[in-house]
Amino acid sequence: MAVASITDLPVTRGYSGPDQPDDDLLRACVHCGMCLPSCPTYRMTGQEASSPRGRLWMMKSVADGTLDLLDPAFDEQMYQCLNCRACEAVCPSGVHYGPLVEAARAQLEQHRPRPVWQRAAREILIGWLFGEANRMRGLVAATRAYQRSGLQALVRRAGLARMVGMADLEEMLPPVAARSLVPGQERWRASVATDRVMLFNTCMMGTVFADVNRAAGRVMARNGCDVDVPAGQQCCGALQVHAGMLGPARDLARRNIDAFEAADPDGTAPIVLTAAGCGAALKEYGFLLKDDPGYAARAERFSARVRDVTEWLASTGIVAPDRPYPVTVTYQEPCHLAHAQRLTAEPRQVLAAIPGLRLIEMAESSLCCGSAGIYNIIRRPMANDLGDRKAAHAARTGAEVVVTANPGCAMQLRTSLGRAGSPQRIMHIVEVLDAAYGDEPESAAPLASGTPGAMPGAVV
Ligand code: SF4
Ligand code: SF4
């Protein structure tokens, strides 16, 4: 496909319309360069333009009118960025990079001419499919039938996916859970409850990896807590925010606030979840809805109650399993846990509470694995390079299990470890703790093995 040259496009000086990058935030960058070593795209390319400092300079240049908003180089850099927030975590000037790149993408979405089919594909995939939790459960049910009917094995044997250029995508599909977790239909009760939490289900954890959420329910009940999954909750909106579709993201945020207020009118129960990327998005509802007079204060209160499951466990004191669970693990840090939520000690505290478990740290544990929402679907070369780098580090530890805390990372690790021929299994941290308690049902199995095609169909 021909790449648009700058001369083909209308000249668009500066930002206009809603959702512009905040000028004060942009000008907070003092160009020190301390963020460069932590940026995965800079590490892979060595180019200033592919660094946080380079991207911030471009965003500021657009604001100043010295760079056109529709310059293809600007577009390329705003979307080459993984929005991993590693730069934000190390910036001494406190540059809040995430909302800046998200606003820059929102500007591109508003002003960039796109082919009709591209707009339609985005609207269908990101807007329509993720706009209603029932639709996602329907798609996952169809995937489950595809995998369990033998059709998937047939497609793979016949090389059909390769013939239509979808082999990589097909291989990324993890085995889906036998049953989705439908909000309002399952709950967990402690023998003596001292607390109550609301589980935020999330699109992927409530469907493909529903048994991870069930493990979280059991684990929290073991830790003295009643767990409910409020009905009416929807996708968190992270995917829409990262794609610059802030309007649909705000709609989802409002619906989630309504659902959780209805389930807990006092607004006192922590909102706990097992997906790092979604947790980061929920913690930023206050920012997302700051200009909505009907929701701004409610969004702030909602965000203040959100806890990653490892954060919640570490804050309540973890009930240690009463017998050893001898396993060696290494920990891959999800970007949105380590950088966006700044939770690095808590996941390790959970693992340290398990007697017999040995944690072997991998190199570059918090460098992005290349998953980044749908980045590993739409930008495969960079995503694959980062995934291979991560898989090599994980394999080098010799650990039996690679532990993580985000569905996107689990899927990316699965394909990367598979490419590397590694037999390492992948588990969510709460699955490890659940297994150590001995509470998981017979049918439960780890998130995935690193060898696509070699794992049982009925995992999580
Ligand atoms: S974003 Fe922060 S760390 Fe990076 S160059 Fe700017 S001020 Fe320095
Ligand atoms: S968000 Fe990640 S990929 Fe993007 S500039 Fe920052 S460190 Fe680099």
Do 203 and 284 belong to one domain? Answer: yes
Sheet with 195-199, side-by-side order of all strands? 187-188, 225-228, 195-199, 271-273, 306-308
Query: Is residue 40 within 6 Å of ligand 2 at its C-beta?
Result: yes
HSE toward the beta carbon, residue 260, CA cutoff 13 A: 26
409 near 398, Cβ under 8 Å?
A: no
**Closest residue by CA, ligand 2 atom 6:** 87
Query: 307's torsion region: left (phi>0), alpha (psi -120 to 50) or beta?
Result: beta
Tell me if 459 is assigned to some domain.
no
d(CA 39, CA 382): 13
Tell me if 325 is assigned to some domain.
yes
Tell me if 416 is assigned to some domain.
yes
In the numeric block, which tokens belong to residue 238? 């992270």
Candidate of 34, 42, 59, 88 to mutate for ligand 1, largest count of ligand atoms within 8 Å of Cβ: 34
391 near 417, Cβ under 8 Å?
A: yes
Mean pLDDT of the chain: 91
Q: How confident is the model at residue 162 (pLDDT cuts 50, 70, 90)?
A: confident
Q: Which amino acid is at 107?
A: Q
d(CA 215, CA 430): 6
Query: Is residue 114 within 6 Å of ligand 1 at its C-beta?
Result: no
Domain count, the chain: 4
Domain region containing 238 = 187-313
Query: Is residue 85 within 6 Å of ligand 2 at its C-beta?
Result: yes
Q: How confident is the model at residue 451 (pLDDT cuts 50, 70, 90)?
A: very low
Query: Is residue 41 within 6 Å of ligand 2 at its C-beta?
Result: yes
Do 102 and 126 belong to one domain? Answer: no
Task: Among the bound ligands, name the one nearest to the CA of residue 38.
Answer: 2
Do 58 and 137 belong to one domain? Answer: no
**Closest residue by CA, ligand 1 atom 6:** 29
d(CA 211, CA 208): 8
Q: How confident is the model at residue 455 (pLDDT cuts 50, 70, 90)?
A: very low
Do 51 and 92 belong to one domain? Answer: yes
pLDDT for 160 equals 83
- CA dist 237 → 73, 151, 280 (Å): 27, 32, 11
| Tens-digit pLDDT profile for residues 88-115 | 999 999 999 999 999 999 999 999 988 8
Least confident piece of the model among 75-89, 157-171, 402-416 = 157-171
- Residue 448 above 70 pLDDT? no
Do 233 and 288 belong to one domain? Answer: yes
70 near 9, Cβ under 8 Å?
A: yes
Q: How confident is the model at residue 206 (pLDDT cuts 50, 70, 90)?
A: very high
| Tens-digit pLDDT profile for residues 136-154 | 999 999 999 999 999 998 8
**Atom of ligand 2 minimally distant from the CA of 335:** 2
**Atom of ligand 1 minimally distant from the CA of 51:** 4
pLDDT for 158 equals 85
Strand duo 425-428 + 448-449: pairing: antiparallel
Task: List CB contacts of 53: < 8 A, sequence separation 6 or more.
Answer: 29, 31, 33, 35, 36
pLDDT for 326 equals 97
| Tens-digit pLDDT profile for residues 220-244 | 999 999 999 999 999 999 999 999 9
| CATH number for 387 | 3.40.50.11810
d(CA 105, CA 151): 39
pLDDT for 458 equals 26
Candidate of 34, 84, 91, 367 to mutate for ligand 2, largest count of ligand atoms within 8 Å of Cβ: 84
**Mean per-residue pLDDT, 256-285:** 97
63 near 15, Cβ under 8 Å?
A: yes
Sheet with 357-359, side-by-side order of all strands? 357-359, 327-331, 401-404, 425-428, 448-449
**Atom of ligand 1 minimally distant from the CA of 90:** 3
d(CA 225, CA 325): 23
Task: Among the bound ligands, name the one nearest to the CA of residue 375.
Answer: 2
- Percent of the chain at pLDDT above 70? 93
Query: Is residue 242 within 6 Å of ligand 2 at its C-beta?
Result: no
Residue 55 class from Cβ within 10 Å (0-12 exposed, 13-18 middle, 19+ buried)?
buried
Length of the chain: 460
CA 382 / ligand 2 centre spacing (Å): 13
Tell me if 161 is assigned to some domain.
yes
What are φ and ψ of residue 362, in 5° steps? Answer: -95, 160
Task: List CB contacts of 162: < 8 A, sequence separation 6 or more.
Answer: none
Do 223 and 339 belong to one domain? Answer: no
| Tens-digit pLDDT profile for residues 47-66 | 999 999 999 999 999 999 99
Do 207 and 306 belong to one domain? Answer: yes
| Tens-digit pLDDT profile for residues 362-379 | 999 999 999 988 898 889
Do 83 and 125 belong to one domain? Answer: no
In the numeric block, which tokens belong to residue 286? 């206050």
Query: Is residue 338 within 6 Å of ligand 2 at its C-beta?
Result: no
- CA dist 235 → 99, 121, 207, 315 (Å): 19, 18, 12, 26
In the numeric block, which tokens belong to residue 133? 């939790």
425 near 448, Cβ under 8 Å?
A: yes
**Mean per-residue pLDDT, 343-358:** 98
pLDDT for 117 equals 87
